[in-house]
Amino acid sequence: MSGSPGPTDERDDLRTALEASPDDVTLMIRLARLEFAAGDLGRAERLFRQAVDTKASADALEGLGTVLVRRGRFREALPHLQRAIGLAPGRASAWNSAGEALGSLGRLAEALEAFTRAADARPDFTPAHYNRGLVLRAMGRQDAAMDALRQAVRLRPDFVEALQALGALLHGTGRYQGAIECFRAVTRLRPNDPGAHTSLGASCQMLGDLQTARACYEKAVALAPEYPDAHSNLGTVYQGLRDMEQAEACFRRALAIAPDHQDALAALAANMDRRGRYQEGLALIEDHLAEGNVELALTGAQIMQHLGRSADAAEILERLLGRGNLSASARQRLEFNRGDALDDLGRYEEAFAAYTAGNRAKPVRFDRDEHRNDVARLLEVFSAQSWPGLPRIDEPSERPVFVVGMPRSGTSLVEQILASHSMVAGAGELTELGQGAIELGLDQGIRFPDSMLTATVSQLQRAARAYLDRLQQLFPDARRVIDKTPANHLFVGFIQNLFPQARVIHCVRHPLDTCLSNYFQNFAGQGIPFSYDLGDIAVYYNDYLRVMEHWRRHASIRFHEVVYEELVHDQERVSRELVAFLDLPWESACLSFHRSKRVVATASHAQVRRPLYRSSVGRFLNYRDHLGPLNERLDWKAWRRSGFADRVDAWIPSVAGPQ
């Protein structure tokens, strides 16, 4: 069977032709290009040199310069490329090769100019946009870099390297949903690439989608059993799922493959930290803290703080922040941890500056008007007039206990106290309730709470059964299970219609302490977008007060309220009241909650490993000069109307304006 001649045949034909016409520059260049495409850079270079020596055309000069770039001889390449550009100023490919040489020599501004000239000369020349994006990224101009990489992907949707670079930039700047779209495209184009699945898992994980992240990492491990990154990242998912033993096993597998894998070392140390094994965790990494790895520095600093070595922690973090090549995400995390260390040391002005820098680096934005409108609609749907007509079910289970309130209001502490009881399990922050609310109107494109207006009893039964099945799966023997997702305060009406026999515990803390604690906390992912601006926090807090006042007036579900300051100052009384509210016999273990071996997966994991301490009461007094945005925007009348102001102020003086 005959076929068309292949590249080798064509090269042989050109070699024969060139032997017959040794001075034919066109033949030299054609053959040189084929040798270059075949990867024979030595032959390609010789042929391009011969062409340049015979007649220094733009084609010959560009070809020689490009071969030299591919061979890593950047200084030697530049004069040839510059001569080619002089002969043909509109030649995009020559500008692009010159840019590659300049970039490799560290001459980034000149490289950017070259790639820009290439893109201007030929707007559809994909490599110019891609390379321009890489240089802009190296220069720290991340938004411009993303624009250039997006253009490369628009021109060539299957450009894997551009998708990977864009995904990495989006992930590094906290734009995780965009990163997921890029990495999903890469996994479709390269389904057997373990790195692509690992990158996709990392972005899913940052958005709190741990199940998808786990599936991605497991796929990566199946494709490459000796790939340490996949094992290490899989361990972080298990850690998020509070399976600390399985997480430890994953980290140790990663380290067995790569003993110096710094992220796995940091993750294993963090695992020890979460379990209260501080000395063991620090011993793993202390000798590595000078190596400049962000994860190691963050974990080491956190453990040092837990061991009372906040000055050492601050020094490590400040040294790393002095480097100029940190991503926005890394700088943001380091600033938050530095703020914590400085706060421990009583250096409050510096601490506030660090927290502010961390918050400003977070690319999450909160839409105040949208949230206000959502709250108004929630209260309208669950109004005294409308609520009785909404579907409800007679689920008899008393198992669910919902601990609600603002984040950082004591919800973790209440959960840990109750979970120390032999008949109670703490589930942490579950997503099933919110997911059930979302799914009510999903088929019709109706959002909650409007979906309650069209929901059926059978839909509510399915949502309730899914939630109870999850509790059974997690804690089959517990009589009561605590779900301490703070934002469930928005779902109290939904809870009542699903679980009329459930209980709700509302945690309250001084508004200024609560708001500042949110501002000082680097929450994972993008789940709490209001927490990065003091004005946004005040707006959200005011809406929270409105919602809780509404439930207090209109809800019939069993309701108990805990004032954080009273719990701290009168632990036994408040703890006994909590246990009695759950209709359980008193157990003294609830007073020794800090000795529990239970894993806490939220931001308060270190606090609940200590006995009750009072330093967090009135903490806002240390930052009185920075309270203006809160004092001005908080609804102090609503706070007084709630009935908690006098109970809280009995323990701390108020520095807010007229209340």
Q: pLDDT band at residue 28, thresholds of 50, 70 and 90?
A: confident
Query: In this structure, what token pair is assigned to residue 12?
Result: 């042989």
Task: Of 171, 172, 169, 126, give the one whose Cα is nearest residue 145.
Answer: 169
pLDDT at 653: 61
Domain borders along the chain are 368-650
Q: pLDDT band at residue 21, thresholds of 50, 70 and 90?
A: confident
pLDDT at 7: 58
Q: Cα–chain-centroid distance for residue 500?
A: 36
Average pLDDT along the chain: 90
pLDDT at 392: 97
Which amino acid belongs to residue 308? G
Per-residue pLDDT at 501 exceeds 50: yes
Q: pLDDT band at residue 602, thresholds of 50, 70 and 90?
A: very low
Residue range 399-419: average pLDDT?
Answer: 96
Backbone angles phi, psi at 240, to 5 degrees: -65, -30
Helix, coil or strand: residue 600: coil
Identify which has the larger pLDDT, 597 or 571: 571
pTM of the predicted structure, to 2 decimals: 0.73
C-alpha 553/C-alpha 566 separation (Å) is 23
Return the percentage of the chain with pLDDT > 70, whole number: 94
pLDDT at 3: 42
Read off the DSSP letter of residue 226.
T
The per-residue b/e assignment along 106-139, b for 16 or more CB within 10 angstroms, e otherwise, is ebbebbbbbbbbbbebbeebbbbbbbbbbbbbee
C-alpha 633/C-alpha 542 separation (Å) is 9
Q: pLDDT band at residue 527, thresholds of 50, 70 and 90?
A: low
Q: pLDDT band at residue 5, thresholds of 50, 70 and 90?
A: very low
pLDDT at 242: 83
Residue range 208-233: average pLDDT?
Answer: 94
Helix, coil or strand: residue 260: coil
Residue range 246-252: average pLDDT?
Answer: 97
Q: pLDDT band at residue 39, thresholds of 50, 70 and 90?
A: confident
Residues sharing a CB contact under 8 Å with residue 139, sequence separation 6 or more, in sequence order: 108, 109, 112
Torsion of Cα atoms, 394 then 400 then 404 then 407, to 10°: -140
Q: Where is 574: in which H helix or E strand?
A: helix 571-581
Residue range 184-192: average pLDDT?
Answer: 97
Q: What confidence tens digit (pLDDT) does each residue in 267-294 have?
A: 999 999 999 999 999 999 998 888 888 9
C-alpha 48/C-alpha 58 separation (Å) is 11
Of 94-98, 286-290, 579-583, give the lowest mean pLDDT range. Answer: 286-290
Residue range 408-424: average pLDDT?
Answer: 95
DSSP 140-180: T-HHHHHHHHHHHHHH-TT-HHHHHHHHHHHHHTT-HHHHH
Task: Of 258, 265, 292, give the one whose Cα is nearest residue 280.
Answer: 265
Read off the DSSP letter of residue 570.
S
Per-residue pLDDT at 306 exceeds 70: yes
Q: What confidence tens digit (pLDDT) does each residue in 503-516 have?
A: 999 999 999 999 99
Per-residue pLDDT at 4 exceeds 90: no
How many other C-beta atoms are found inside a 10 Å radius of the C-beta of residue 631? Answer: 18
pLDDT at 654: 52
Of 18-32, 126-140, 232-246, 282-296, give the lowest mean pLDDT range. Answer: 18-32
Q: What confidence tens digit (pLDDT) does each residue in 50-75 have?
A: 888 888 889 889 888 888 988 988 99
Please give the C-alpha separations between residue 91 and each of 29, 136, 208, 212, in angstroms, as whole numbers. Answer: 17, 22, 47, 46
Conformation bin of residue 620: beta by default, left when phi > 0, alpha when psi is -120 to 50: alpha
pLDDT at 525: 58
Query: In this structure, what token pair is assigned to residue 642?
Result: 């709630």
CATH superfamily of domain region 368-650? P-loop containing nucleotide triphosphate hydrolases (3.40.50.300)
pLDDT at 605: 46
pLDDT at 2: 38
Residue range 400-409: average pLDDT?
Answer: 96
Q: Cα–chain-centroid distance for residue 606?
A: 21
C-beta separation of 600 from 606 below 8 A: no
Per-residue pLDDT at 188 exceeds 60: yes
DSSP 442-470: TTTT--TTTHHHH--HHHHHHHHHHHHHH
